[in-house]
Amino acid sequence: MPVIFALVMLALMWVIVIAPQQKRVKAHNAVVASLQAGDDVMTTSGMCGRIVDLDEEFVRLEVAPGVVVRFDRRAVAARSVDEDQHMEQGESSEP
């Protein structure tokens, strides 16, 4: 009986914790693999900028006119959505 309980607990842990995390990792890897120069992105530290150059390891973001910083490519958390795209989709940034 304790063996069955342990197996059920492992299965629950897999469904609740491990499987969703693997899904998030796959989605993040897909975003990182599809980055291109000109994309507006946000890093894991919260900095937003436009990619001006990238290679296999690093991206260079322009965070202000003339200010370019280098980040590890995996530090890109997501692509940013422009306000214009929000407006085209009928979404509003106002509460």
Tens-digit pLDDT profile for residues 69-84: 999 999 999 988 765 5
In a domain, 56, yes or no: yes
Q: How many domains would you assign to the chain?
A: 1
In a domain, 23, yes or no: yes
In a domain, 28, yes or no: yes
Range of the domain at 57: 2-88
- On whether the pTM is more than 0.85, the answer is no
CATH number of the domain where residue 30 is located: 2.30.30.140
**Pick from 55, 54, 53, 50: nearest CA to 40:** 50
In a domain, 34, yes or no: yes
In a domain, 17, yes or no: yes
In a domain, 94, yes or no: no
Name the region of 66 (left: φ>0; alpha: ψ -120 to 50; beta: rest).
left
Tens-digit pLDDT profile for residues 6-59: 999 999 988 898 999 999 999 999 999 999 999 999 999 999 999 999 999 999
